[in-house]
Structure 1
Amino acid sequence: MHKPIRKAAVIGSGIMGSGIAAQFANAGIPCLLLDRVPAQLTAAEAAKGYTLEHPAVRNRLAVSAIENLKKTKPVPLYDHDFAERITPGNLEDHLSQIGEADWVIEVVVENLEIKKELLAKVEPYWKPGMIVSTNTSGISVNAMAEVRSQEFRSHFLGTHFFNPPRYMKLLEIIPGEMTNPELVTELSSFCERTLGKTVVLAKDTPNFIANRIGTYGLLVTLGEMIDKGYTVEEVDAVTGPAMGRPKSATFRTLDLVGLDTFLHVADNVYSNVSNEAEKQVFAAPEVLKQMVAQGRTGEKSGQGFYRKAKGPDGSQILALDLQSMEYRPQKKPASGSLEAAKLAKGAKAKTVALLAGGDRYADLAWNVLKQVLVYAAEKLGEIAESVREIDEAMKWGFNWEMGPFETWDAIGLVRSVSKMEAEGLTVPSWVKEWIAAGNTSFYRKEDGKLFHVFEGRYKDVELPPEVISLKGLKMQNRVVKGNSGASLIDLGDGVACLEFHSPNNAIGGDILSMISQSVEEVRRNFTGLVIANQGKNFCVGANLMLLLMEAQDEEWDEVDDIIRLFQNTMYQLKRFEKPVIAAPHRMTLGGGVEACMPADQVIAATETYYGLVEVGVGLIPAGGGCKELALRASQQAGLPETDLQPYMNRIFETVGTAKVSTSGHDAKNLGYLRPSDRVVLNPDHTIYEAKQAVLRLAASGYEPIPESKLRVVGSEGKAVLRLGALGMRESGFISDHDLLIANKLAHVLAGGDVPAGSLVTERHMLDLEREAFLSLCGESKTRQRMQYMLTKGKPLRN
Structure 2
Amino acid sequence: MNQSIRKAAVIGSGIMGSGIAAHLANAGISCLLLDIVPSKLTDEEAAKGLTLEHPAVRNRLATAAIAKLAKINPAPLYDPDFAKRITPGNLEDDLARVADVDWVIEVVVENLQVKRELLRKVEAHWKPGLVVSSNTSGISIDEMSAECGPEFRKHFMGTHFFNPPRYMKLLEIIPGRDTDAALVRRMKDFCENALGKGVVIAKDTPNFVANRIGTYGLLVTLREMAEKGYTVEEIEAVTGPAMGRPKSATLRTLDLVGIDTFLHVADNVHRNVMDGAERAVFEHPALAKELVARGWIGEKAGQGFFKKIKGPDGKSEILALDPATMEYRPQKKVSSGSLEAAKLAKGAREKTKALIAGGDRYSELAWSLLSQVLVYSAAKVGEIADSIEEIDNAMKWGFNWELGPFEAWDAIGLATSALRMEREGLAVPGWVKEWIAQGNTSFYRKGEGGRKFYIHEGRYREAEEKPENISLRALKENGRTIIGNSGASLVDLGDGVACLEFHSPNNAIGSDILSLISQGVEEVRRNYEGLVIANEGRNFCVGANIMLLLMEAQDEEWDEVDGIIRMFQNAMLKIKRLEKPVVAAPHRMTLGGGVEACLPADQVIASAETYYGLVEVGVGLIPAGGGCKEFALRISQSERSPDADLLPRLSQAFETIGMAKVSTSGHDAKKLGYLKETDRVLLNQDRRIYEAKQAVLRMAQAGYEPIPEERVRVAGAEGKAALTLGAIGMRQSGWISDHDLKIAKKLAHVLAGGDVPAGTLVSEQYLLDLEREAFLSLCGEPKTQQRMQHMLTKGKALRN
TM range (shorter): over 0.9
Amino acid corresponding to residue 345 of structure 1 in structure 2: K
1:480 lines up with 2:482 in the alignment: yes
2:2, 2:190 within 8 Å by CA — same for their partners in 1?
no
Question: What residue number does 1:436 align with?
Answer: 437
Amino acid corresponding to residue 778 of structure 1 in structure 2: G
Question: What residue number does 1:569 align with?
Answer: 571
Paired residue for 1:610, among 586, 609, 612?
612
Question: What residue number does 1:59 align with?
Answer: 59
Paired residue for 1:739, among 731, 737, 741?
741
Tell me the CA shift for residue 309 of structure 1. Answer: 1.1
Deviation string 1:714-760 (CA, Å, 9 cap, x unpaired) is: 00110110011111111111111111000000000010010011111
Tell me the CA shift for residue 3 of structure 1. Answer: 7.4
Question: What residue number does 2:228 align with?
Answer: 228
Question: What residue number does 1:338 align with?
Answer: 339
Question: What residue number does 1:462 align with?
Answer: 464
Measured at CA, do residues 759 and 347 of structure 1 come closer, stay the same or move farther in structure 2, by a change above 3 Å? same
1:271 match: secondary structure = helix
Q: Take 1:500 and 1:560, find their aligned partners in 2: how far apart are those partners?
A: 23
- Within a 5 Å distance, the mapping from 1:83-122 to structure 2 comes to 83-122=83-122
Q: Take 1:577 and 1:634, find their aligned partners in 2: how far apart are those partners?
A: 23
Q: Take 2:640 and 2:254, find their aligned partners in 1: how far apart are those partners?
A: 55
Tell me the CA shift for residue 791 of structure 1. Answer: 1.0
Q: Take 2:641 and 2:144, find their aligned partners in 1: how far apart are those partners?
A: 63
Tell me the CA shift for residue 304 of structure 1. Answer: 0.3
Amino acid corresponding to residue 353 of structure 1 in structure 2: A
Q: Take 1:104 and 1:268, find their aligned partners in 2: how far apart are those partners?
A: 25
Instruction: State the TM-score, normalizing by the size of structure 1.
Output: 0.99
Q: Take 2:560 and 2:335, find their aligned partners in 1: how far apart are those partners?
A: 43
- Within a 5 Å distance, the mapping from 1:38-57 to structure 2 comes to 38-57=38-57
Deviation string 1:529-560 (CA, Å, 9 cap, x unpaired) is: 00000100000001111111111111111111
Paired residue for 1:627, among 629, 632, 635?
629
Q: Take 2:407 and 2:136, find their aligned partners in 1: how far apart are those partners?
A: 27
Measured at CA, do residues 3 and 745 of structure 1 come closer, stay the same or move farther in structure 2, by a change above 3 Å? closer
Amino acid corresponding to residue 605 of structure 2 in structure 1: I
For the aligned residue pairs, the C-alpha RMSD in angstroms reads 0.8
Amino acid corresponding to residue 623 of structure 1 in structure 2: G
Deviation string 1:434-472 (CA, Å, 9 cap, x unpaired) is: 001110000001211111111111111112221111111
Tell me the CA shift for residue 569 of structure 1. Answer: 1.0
1:714 lines up with 2:716 in the alignment: yes
Q: Take 1:780 and 1:453, find their aligned partners in 2: how far apart are those partners?
A: 60
Question: What residue number does 1:762 align with?
Answer: 764
Question: What residue number does 1:23 align with?
Answer: 23
2:31, 2:85 within 8 Å by CA — same for their partners in 1?
yes
Deviation string 1:314-360 (CA, Å, 9 cap, x unpaired) is: 22101111001111111111111111111111111111111111111
Q: Take 1:464 and 1:62, find their aligned partners in 2: how far apart are those partners?
A: 39
Tell me the CA shift for residue 378 of structure 1. Answer: 0.3
Q: Take 2:468 and 2:109, find their aligned partners in 1: how far apart are those partners?
A: 36
2:453, 2:462 within 8 Å by CA — same for their partners in 1?
yes
- Within a 5 Å distance, the mapping from 1:499-518 to structure 2 comes to 499-518=501-520
Amino acid corresponding to residue 756 of structure 2 in structure 1: V
2:160, 2:172 within 8 Å by CA — same for their partners in 1?
yes
Amino acid corresponding to residue 486 of structure 1 in structure 2: A
Q: Take 2:417 and 2:390, find their aligned partners in 1: how far apart are those partners?
A: 22
Question: What residue number does 1:359 align with?
Answer: 360
- Within a 5 Å distance, the mapping from 1:589-608 to structure 2 comes to 589-608=591-610
1:87 match: secondary structure = strand
Amino acid corresponding to residue 352 of structure 1 in structure 2: K
2:2, 2:194 within 8 Å by CA — same for their partners in 1?
no
Amino acid corresponding to residue 418 of structure 1 in structure 2: L
1:507, 1:542 within 8 Å by CA — same for their partners in 2?
yes
1:318 lines up with 2:319 in the alignment: yes
1:3, 1:102 within 8 Å by CA — same for their partners in 2?
no
Amino acid corresponding to residue 476 of structure 2 in structure 1: K
- Within a 5 Å distance, the mapping from 1:271-350 to structure 2 comes to 271-313=271-313, 314-350=315-351
Q: Take 1:315 and 1:499, find their aligned partners in 2: how far apart are those partners?
A: 41
Question: What residue number does 1:199 align with?
Answer: 199
For structure 1, the 5+ residue unaligned runs are: none
1:441 match: secondary structure = coil
2:608, 2:665 within 8 Å by CA — same for their partners in 1?
yes
Question: What residue number does 2:407 align with?
Answer: 406
2:233, 2:333 within 8 Å by CA — same for their partners in 1?
yes
Question: What residue number does 2:703 align with?
Answer: 701
Measured at CA, do residues 3 and 145 of structure 1 come closer, stay the same or move farther in structure 2, by a change above 3 Å? farther
Tell me the CA shift for residue 637 of structure 1. Answer: 2.1
Question: What residue number does 2:560 align with?
Answer: 558
Tell me the CA shift for residue 169 of structure 1. Answer: 0.4
- Within a 5 Å distance, the mapping from 1:480-499 to structure 2 comes to 480-499=482-501
2:278 match: secondary structure = helix
Q: Take 1:421 and 1:16, find their aligned partners in 2: how far apart are those partners?
A: 42
1:788, 1:796 within 8 Å by CA — same for their partners in 2?
yes
Amino acid corresponding to residue 144 of structure 1 in structure 2: M
2:2, 2:193 within 8 Å by CA — same for their partners in 1?
no
Tell me the CA shift for residue 151 of structure 1. Answer: 0.4
Deviation string 1:640-684 (CA, Å, 9 cap, x unpaired) is: 222110110000000001000000000000000000000000110
Tell me the CA shift for residue 129 of structure 1. Answer: 1.0
Amino acid corresponding to residue 199 of structure 1 in structure 2: V
Question: What residue number does 1:183 align with?
Answer: 183
Amino acid corresponding to residue 492 of structure 2 in structure 1: D
Q: Take 2:263 and 2:481, find their aligned partners in 1: how far apart are those partners?
A: 50
Q: Take 1:457 and 1:623, find their aligned partners in 2: how far apart are those partners?
A: 53
1:9, 1:32 within 8 Å by CA — same for their partners in 2?
yes
Runs of 4+ in 1 over 6 A off after TM superposition: none
Q: Take 2:176 and 2:528, find their aligned partners in 1: how far apart are those partners?
A: 48
Q: Take 1:483 and 1:442, find their aligned partners in 2: how far apart are those partners?
A: 33
Amino acid corresponding to residue 679 of structure 1 in structure 2: V
1:676 lines up with 2:678 in the alignment: yes
Amino acid corresponding to residue 400 of structure 2 in structure 1: N
1:554 match: secondary structure = coil
Deviation string 1:40-99 (CA, Å, 9 cap, x unpaired) is: 000100000000000000000000000001111110000000000001100000111110
Tell me the CA shift for residue 2 of structure 1. Answer: 10
Q: Take 2:210 and 2:474, find their aligned partners in 1: how far apart are those partners?
A: 26
For structure 2, the 5+ residue unaligned runs are: none
1:496 match: secondary structure = strand
2:124 match: secondary structure = helix
Q: Take 2:663 and 2:161, find their aligned partners in 1: how far apart are those partners?
A: 25
1:504, 1:537 within 8 Å by CA — same for their partners in 2?
yes
Tell me the CA shift for residue 638 of structure 1. Answer: 2.5
Q: Take 2:242 and 2:464, find their aligned partners in 1: how far apart are those partners?
A: 31
1:136, 1:160 within 8 Å by CA — same for their partners in 2?
yes
Q: Take 1:610 and 1:254, find their aligned partners in 2: how far apart are those partners?
A: 31
Question: What residue number does 2:774 align with?
Answer: 772
Amino acid corresponding to residue 357 of structure 1 in structure 2: G
Tell me the CA shift for residue 614 of structure 1. Answer: 0.3
1:3, 1:129 within 8 Å by CA — same for their partners in 2?
no
Amino acid corresponding to residue 630 of structure 1 in structure 2: A
Q: Take 2:374 and 2:564, find their aligned partners in 1: how far apart are those partners?
A: 50
1:284 match: secondary structure = coil
1:8, 1:101 within 8 Å by CA — same for their partners in 2?
yes
- Within a 5 Å distance, the mapping from 1:623-662 to structure 2 comes to 623-662=625-664
Amino acid corresponding to residue 132 of structure 2 in structure 1: V
Between Structure 1 and Structure 2, how many residues are aligned? 798
- Within a 5 Å distance, the mapping from 1:109-148 to structure 2 comes to 109-148=109-148
1:486, 1:500 within 8 Å by CA — same for their partners in 2?
yes
Q: Take 1:37 and 1:457, find their aligned partners in 2: how far apart are those partners?
A: 55
Tell me the CA shift for residue 422 of structure 1. Answer: 1.0
Q: Take 1:37 and 1:637, find their aligned partners in 2: how far apart are those partners?
A: 52
1:244, 1:351 within 8 Å by CA — same for their partners in 2?
yes
Deviates more, 1:96-105 or 1:459-468: 459-468
Q: Take 1:650 and 1:578, find their aligned partners in 2: how far apart are those partners?
A: 32
1:505, 1:539 within 8 Å by CA — same for their partners in 2?
yes
